Every structure is written in C-alpha cells, then in structure tokens.
Structure 1
Amino acid sequence: MKPELTLHERTLQLCRYPVRDNDPLQAWDAADEYLINHVQEQDLNLDPTRPILILNDSFGALSCWFAEKGKVTTVTDSFVAKQGILNNLAANQLPDINIIDPLAELPKQPQLVLMKLPKNNRLLVWQLQQLCQLLPDDCTVVAADKAKQIHTSTLKLFEKHLGETKTSLAVKKARLVFCQANPNLAQPLPEPQQWAVPEHDMTIANHANVFSSDSLDIGARLLLEHIPSHNRYKGIVDLGCGNGVIGIKAARLNPEAKVTCVDESYMAVASCKLNAEQNLDNAEQVNAVVNNCLDGFEPESNDLVLCNPPFHQQNAITSHIAWQMFCDAKRVLRAKGQLIIIGNRHLGYDEKLKRLFGNVKLIAQNNKFVVYQSNK
C-alpha cells in the first residue's frame, strides 16, 4: 500500500505501526482526507496559541497534517496508534505534539476539535461528555468516519451529549459530522461500569473503551475454567488482558507467581489495575502495562502466557496481531513453558501454533470457541 498522502500540494510519508514489509493496510483513510480537505477549504484563521484537539487519530495523518498549524493535542486510547503517530511525526520532521489518553485532562480553550469516530459508542459518549464540559462557544467540532458507520443513532448521541448536530454529503464513502457544543448538556463523567462474576467471586469494572462493558464475555468465561495452577509457574503473562479478569484468576490460582497483564489500550490497563485492587488480597502480585504485544520483554523470562488475541486493529480485520502475539509468547517463554490461547473456531489458530511451536493440543471447546495449548 502506498505510504504517501498528497493533498493541497503537500505530501506526508505515513506508515502503520509496527511497520511491516508489503503491508496491505494504509495508514489513513478517506475520512482523514475529508477532514483535512474541509479544514483547508474553510481557511480557518487558526490561533497558534490555542489548542487544536484531535481525537482517535489512527496512525497520525491528522496529527502530522496539523502539527505545524497550532498547539496540537492528540487523544488516543491505543499505544500502537501513539507509536505510529510518533514515528510519522519523526519521519516527516514535524514538531512535537502532546499525546494523551482518554482518561487524561483535556487542554483548556481549544479552538478546533477534529474527531475520528471510535468503534465503541461507549468511548464516543465518554469523549462527547468530556468535550461538553470543556468547549468554548467559538470552538468548531468536526467528526468523520465511513458513511456507513454514521447512523441516526450516532447523530442522536452527538445531540444528546454535546449539542446541535448536522452532517455533510458523502465523499469517497466518508461523511463529516458538525456539532456545536451546548454547555447546558454538560454532566459529570460516568464511573466505570461494574458487575459481579459470582462463580469466580469477583467484581469487575470496565472503563468506556474496554471490550464487553457489562458482563463477562463468553470467550473469557471459557478460558477462566482452564487456567492451570502449579508451583512451577513463577512468571505468568496475560497478553491482551482487557479488564484483567484472566490475569487476576491466574494470580489467585498461582499465589507465588508474578503476573504481568499487557494490553495496548490505556483504558484496559487502567481497568485491570482497578480490578486487581478490588479482587486480590495483594494487588502488587499483578503488574499491568501498556505495550505493543511483548515488545521489550526479556527472552525466556516467563513460564505461562495466557492470550485472547484480537483479530482486528482499529477498524481493519487482520491476523498479524495474533501471529505477533504467538511469536512474542514463544520468545519470552522458558523451556517447557506453555502458551494457552482462546479464539473463535473459524480462525484456525491451531495451524499457526503447530507451525510455530511444533505442537498444539485442544484442551477445551464449545460451539463458538476453542482453547489450545502449545509447549515450548
């Protein structure tokens, strides 16, 4: 896929993160182009002293385009997106910008808000409520996504939580949403959603962008029944931890083990930390970190990796994340260490594991999911 975005006689070099040879996925989309074109054509008189706020930038197309036009703050829940933005800023020799996660305080008095609509409506509501508390009267808000992803219900969320909302015509299958903040709609940000898992004696909390907001997802429910307990497990990794329920269960079953929970979502890691404090006698047994898979982990440093791999990166369906997780797991496992994964039956993870480890064993299944184990 081409790495150059050329608009208005300007070219940016943009790559997804991590960089892969012959990557079929592009680092920007038509919604990015539509947002850029709209702002350029409006010829806004941007104040270099006031913030430009960018929400949910995929890999830096918006951040790079506007980095020279004002004090840019980009909000992303994705560690992978953040690394992509940093790499692309450096590749194009652009000024540094401020990059924060959705739980951080937003800068005061922004003059322009550009938003890529998140996949998760709970995160959208969170961000709209943040903006409603913050935006001055003269701030312009423009959001964008594929036209097919902007539903009547999406526009109603803008109307309910931010203010009067209008849409553009579709261009290259993308559409813009324009909104004027109404301070009378401002309300306190919601607390993390909480629910009980009585069969495992847990109370689980989720921040807005964490998968399965109000119940234990059925994949995790199956995997929880097949977490091993043995005194030889000194180091355990919950890879792609989400709210941390798998790692917390592993910590309970293996009280002498040090458990590391890893996710690329800042909200997931924050949820995991909260859940460890609520559900473990010794919360320090679990260390939750934001990372791209197991980048930087020492080789042969753990005995067990538990993994529920995603098969999408933002809005793109892809298998490369699962493959990277499996390869990283093999690298960080000690000899005779185990990788236990759960996945949808149709994804064919058993073939990948057999190719990588030379062995794979089916240890559980239901009509939707399979649990496999491979030994190093």
Structure 2
Amino acid sequence: MNRLTTSQGAYDLARFPEHPRDPFRAWDAADEYLLRQLEDPDAAAPVDLSGTVVVVGDRWGALTTVLADHRPVQITDSYLAQRATLANLARNGDDADRVRLLSARDTPPDRIDVLLVRVPKSLALLEDQLHRLAPSVHAGTVVIGTGMVKEIHTSTLKLFERILGPTRTSLAVKKARLIFCTPDPDRTSAPSPWPYRYELPGDVGAVSGRTVTNHAGIFCAERLDIGTRFFLNHLPARTGPDHVVDLGCGNGVLGLSAALANPDATLTFTDESYQAVASAEATFRDNMPADAKADFVVGDGLADLAPGSVDLVLNNPPFHSHLATTDATARNMFHAARTALRQGGELWVVGNRHLGYHTQLRRTFGNCVIVAGDPKFVVLRAVKR
C-alpha cells in the first residue's frame, strides 16, 4: 500500500489482489497529472465536476477514489480494477454507493459532462470505448485523456479526433501527457469494427478452420498468437466427464478445443476481462451444439470455484500488468489452480521458455514436466498429488 497526496487530501491505495511484496503502486504520474489538472485553482477555465463525471479505464481505482465526492461513474474492462476501486474506497472511508461501477460491456450514461480517459494499452479497446461513449457526449463535455508518453501515439490522438472531435496534447510532465479533446456534435464516424472474427488455420488440432470472436482489447484479437497456436497442438487427449477450466481464457480457443475433443467435458471459461469472457462465450456458442455445457465467469481467476472441483486447467498466463513486466499474475494463477484441482488433477501451461515457469510450478505443485517445446515456447504439466 502507498499514499497518494493531492490538494484534496491523502489517500492510501493498493492494487488488487494486495500482496506485501508487490513493488508497484496503484497509480502513476499520468494519474497525478490528470488530478492536478482538475484541481488547478489558477486554470483559466476550471473543470466543473458538478455534472455527470465518467472515468474510463481507471486501472486500480485511484482516480475514482480521489473523485468520490463527485459521485463518478467508472467504466472499466477489468474485474480486478473494480475490486481495487471498492477496496480503496473502503480503506479511505468512502462508501461504495458513492460511485457507480460499469463494465466495458455495459451501456454508458445517457449524458456525460466530464469524460476522463486513462488511455489503455490496447488501441482497439480505446477505439471501441470511444465509439460507445460518443453518443453521450455533447458540445460542452470536457474530455481529458491521460497516459504515459510511451502510451500516447499519433494513432491515439487520431482516434479521439476521428470519433469525438478536435484533439491536442499537453507538454510532458514526469513522462506523462494529457489529451484535450473538444467534442464536435456534428461529427459522424464509421461504426465500430468490433467485434472482429477470423477463421483459425487448418493445422491447430480440434479447432482447425473454426471461427473465433474477438471483442476489442483482448490479447491478439486480430490473429492467433503463436504461443496459443503451439499449445493447441499439444493439448492433453482426455475423455469422460471432466471439469475443464480455460483460465485467463481470452477468446476461449483453448477451452473450445478441449470441448470439441471431449464432448462429455464440462467447461468453465474465466478471465478478469469482461471483453474476454464475452469473446469466449461467443466463440463457444458459435462452434458447439446448443446443449453443450459451459460456464462463463468474469472474476479473480479461480476464486469462484470450489476447491478440489476441477480435473484439468489450461493456462496461457500473461506476463505483463499494463506496462510492467511481472510474473505475479502467473504465480497467482498457479496457486489458484492447485487449490481448485482435485487430487490427480492437472495444470497445463504454455509460456515463453525464458520465463522459467517450470521453477515456479515445481515450488507450487512439487512436480513439473515438459510436455513439448521449441526454441521459443514450452508446454508444461503439473499434477496435484
């Protein structure tokens, strides 16, 4: 936990889930720059926060927590960001009912007077978000984006300009930058290109030639990533009424492959991204019989599953948290998988060879074998004894 000090007060903030060894703060210089802009008493035109304030992409709830007095609407694709927001509000003495939490899949407010956008890593997600928000802004809406300099590109500014209206940027401060956009109510833009669908290649096992659905913001939404492609050709061959979990499911192609190969299996697709789970459900429904069994869960990994209830977990863990490189997410997934698996249940993981997941899996499970490998990737199997 760290303390963010602003002109309005000091706030104790942490990421979610909170870990004592987490080296990362729940905010960065881009959040601070935006808050200073809103609080600047010497501004020529101070921002009026008395109307409907919408905060988009608040990564760990820092912006929403500081602005809680203005009863903001938070819109995020991240379940963990929502949980962090609620936890940060509570630790700073605020009630959850002072803010309204919406997912990226929900309908935004009919009218937005102040729109604050934390620029996401995914340009596609930003594009989809701006299309969804555009009908709610008006000529008087104050639109301010924020991000680190390396997150804001010419393509970022062009999206604001094309979808909302004239756009300019600020000077950089502590490697952060602001985006100022003036909505043009007469502007029309092409409809959002999302979701995007593509046909899988013909050499990826049970899912060869199948069509997958990708909502904006999910990993490798425009093509099959090479790690998953490698994994698809080395999945375990199983039969019977297994409970199989696609952990961190993305568009659900791993779980779909398991379902097609074993029609008796019951599938659970889980991810902390609302867009990912919506993609997985669309992919599954489009390729499986209507009576196929599956659950689709937006949540914190396997926290919603009963311990000892799972036979097989398939996992392609991320090794980034926004711009930070970290194995914390993978470690959390491995520990959660061990809890969820029954005795004899298996966790299968694909990862870049250099990440050394085998070491962590041996610590967590007491065993790990390399099922397959190439110069870049390895497929690993750990069994709960």
Pairwise TM-score range, normalised by the shorter structure:
over 0.9
What is the CA deviation profile of residues 187-231 of structure 1, one whole-angstrom value per residue up to 9, with x for unaligned ones?
433341001114223100100111112221111111111222323
Partner-residue secondary structure (3-state), 1:261: strand
- Tell me the distance in 2 between the aligned counterparts of 1:34 and 1:45: 17
- Tell me the distance in 2 between the aligned counterparts of 1:15 and 1:237: 29
Partner-residue secondary structure (3-state), 2:72: strand
Aligned to 1:144: 146
> In the alignment, is residue 113 of structure 1 matched against residue 129 of structure 2?
no
Q: What does 1:1-376 align with in structure 2 at a 5 Å threshold? A: 3-41=2-40, 42=43, 43-47=46-50, 50-69=51-70, 71-95=71-95, 96=97, 97-183=99-185, 184-199=187-202, 200-232=208-240, 234-282=242-290, 284-376=292-384
Would the aligned equivalents of 2:140 and 2:183 in 1 still touch at CA under 8 Å? Answer: no
Partner-residue secondary structure (3-state), 1:21: coil
Would the aligned equivalents of 2:198 and 2:212 in 1 still touch at CA under 8 Å? Answer: yes
Gaps of at least 5 residues in structure 1 are none
- Tell me the distance in 2 between the aligned counterparts of 1:31 and 1:228: 44
Partner-residue secondary structure (3-state), 2:230: helix
Partner-residue secondary structure (3-state), 1:269: helix
Under a length normalisation based on structure 1, what TM-score does the superposition of the two structures give?
0.95
Aligned to 2:205: none
Would the aligned equivalents of 2:138 and 2:184 in 1 still touch at CA under 8 Å? Answer: no
Percent identical among aligned pairs is 41
- Tell me the distance in 2 between the aligned counterparts of 1:270 and 1:320: 25
Partner-residue secondary structure (3-state), 1:185: coil
- Tell me the distance in 1 between the aligned counterparts of 2:291 and 2:170: 49
Q: 1:290 to 1:76 in 2, by over 3 A?
A: same
- Tell me the distance in 2 between the aligned counterparts of 1:231 and 1:130: 43
The worse-fitting range, judged by mean Cα deviation, of 72-81 and 296-305 is 296-305
The worse-fitting range, judged by mean Cα deviation, of 349-358 and 74-83 is 349-358
Would the aligned equivalents of 1:128 and 1:158 in 2 still touch at CA under 8 Å? Answer: yes
Q: 1:111 to 1:283 in 2, by over 3 A?
A: farther
- Tell me the distance in 2 between the aligned counterparts of 1:358 and 1:282: 40
Q: 1:143 to 1:104 in 2, by over 3 A?
A: same
- Tell me the distance in 2 between the aligned counterparts of 1:218 and 1:9: 47
C-alpha displacement of 1:370: 0.7
| Number of residue pairs matched by the alignment | 372
Q: What amino acid sits opposite 2:346 in the alignment?
A: Q
Would the aligned equivalents of 1:163 and 1:185 in 2 still touch at CA under 8 Å? Answer: no
C-alpha displacement of 1:233: 5.2
Q: What amino acid sits opposite 2:113 in the alignment?
A: Q
Would the aligned equivalents of 1:248 and 1:286 in 2 still touch at CA under 8 Å? Answer: no
Considering only aligned residues, what root-mean-square deviation do their CA atoms show, in Å? 1.5
Q: What amino acid sits opposite 2:183 in the alignment?
A: A
C-alpha displacement of 1:148: 2.5
- Tell me the distance in 1 between the aligned counterparts of 2:103 and 2:64: 15
Q: What amino acid sits opposite 1:76 in the alignment?
A: T
Q: What amino acid sits opposite 2:62 in the alignment?
A: A
What is the CA deviation profile of residues 273-301 of structure 1, one whole-angstrom value per residue up to 9, with x for unaligned ones?
11111011146412111111111321111
C-alpha displacement of 1:262: 0.8
Under a length normalisation based on structure 2, what TM-score does the superposition of the two structures give?
0.93
What is the CA deviation profile of residues 87-135 of structure 1, one whole-angstrom value per residue up to 9, with x for unaligned ones?
1111112242111111211102211011110000001111222232221
C-alpha displacement of 1:257: 1.3
Would the aligned equivalents of 1:132 and 1:182 in 2 still touch at CA under 8 Å? Answer: no
- Tell me the distance in 2 between the aligned counterparts of 1:315 and 1:233: 40
Would the aligned equivalents of 1:247 and 1:286 in 2 still touch at CA under 8 Å? Answer: no
Partner-residue secondary structure (3-state), 1:54: strand
Q: What amino acid sits opposite 1:56 in the alignment?
A: G
C-alpha displacement of 1:9: 4.9
C-alpha displacement of 1:315: 2.4
Q: What amino acid sits opposite 2:285 in the alignment?
A: E
